[in-house]
Amino acid sequence: MTMKDYETLIASRMRQPRFKHSKNVAKEAVRLAKKYGADVSRAELAGILHDATKETPEDEQMRYIEKAGIILTPLECSTHKLWHAISGAAFVQVELGITDEDILNSIRYHTTGREGMSLLEKVIFIADFTSAERDYDGVDRMRKAADKSLEDAMLEGLSFTIADLSQRKLAIAPDTFSAYNEVAMLKTNKKK
Ligand code: DGI
Ligand code: FE
Ligand code: FE
């Protein structure tokens, strides 16, 4: 399949605004990949695919997850907002036949992050925050951080997510804390 084929497939799975978001994330991922030395074509593909199942019915999402042999933790199970990242990775693996682990992980961890993220995983995680149509409070800070360094951007994005979720009294995935602690400790060590 060509990039155009993937775009057409993604367009058929979601409404126009989310398709626009997906295209913007792919574009931003290409920009960040060039800037930080990640693989540009993988970044573009992971970007267009990252929300592949965001508008897919939950029972269908669960079928992809089961088919891929993924076992959800109790927190993942009860936090439905996290399903699309996991089912998205499962979908592109079992239905599209994508085997590239780095692309699969970039989709799976695009919402929570995790400890030990690859360059590509970070690029997709950040591109999802800084894509052209984003306009949440703090997007300027996030864009500045993304232009400074990957670490600054990861720290900004993860602290934003943790602050936002705790403010709303929602459960926070352990992967998000591990990812946050890893970059926060890097920063602390540099300050010493
Ligand atoms: O799919 P997008 O809208 O482009 O962005 P996303 O994949 O980052 O999803 C964001 C949503 O997921 C947002 O409503 C916050 C929520 N979320 C992210 N991490 C967690 C979470 N919700 C809970 N409860 N726990 C998390 O760890
Ligand atoms: Fe998402
Ligand atoms: Fe997204």
Residue nearest to ligand 1 atom 6, measured at CA: 111
The finding on whether 112 has its CB within 6 A of some atom of ligand 1 is: yes
pLDDT 10s digits, 158-183 = 999 999 999 999 999 999 999 999 99
Mean pLDDT of 141-156: 97
Total-model pTM: 0.95
| Residue 192's pLDDT band (cuts 50, 70, 90) | low
The finding on whether 108 has its CB within 6 A of some atom of ligand 1 is: no
pLDDT 10s digits, 94-126 = 999 999 999 999 999 999 999 999 999 999 999
Identify the structural domains of the chain with CATH numbers, from first to last.
3-191 (1.10.3210.10)
pLDDT of residue 35: 98
- d(CA 111, ligand 1 centre) in Å: 5
In the block, residue with structure tokens 């079992």: 94
pLDDT of residue 191: 67
The finding on whether 162 has its CB within 6 A of some atom of ligand 1 is: no
Mean pLDDT of 48-75: 98
| Residue 9's pLDDT band (cuts 50, 70, 90) | very high
pLDDT 10s digits, 131-140 = 999 999 999 9
The finding on whether 173 has its CB within 6 A of some atom of ligand 1 is: yes
pLDDT of residue 148: 97
Of the ligands numbered here, which is closest to the C-alpha atom of 82? 1
Neighbours of ion ligand 2 (CB under 5 A): 51
The ligand 1 atom nearest the CA atom of 176: 27
The finding on whether 110 has its CB within 6 A of some atom of ligand 1 is: yes
Query: Do 68 and 94 contact (CB within 8 A), yes or no?
Result: yes
57: left (phi over 0), alpha (psi -120 to 50) or beta: beta
pLDDT at 188 over 90: no
Nearest-CA neighbor of 80 among 97, 93, 65? Answer: 65
- d(CA 175, ligand 3 centre) in Å: 18
* Mutate-to-test residue for ligand 1 from 107, 159, 161, 167, highest number of ligand atoms within 8 A of CB: 161
Give me the chain's average pLDDT, please. 97
- d(CA 164, ligand 1 centre) in Å: 10
Residue nearest to ligand 1 atom 7, measured at CA: 111
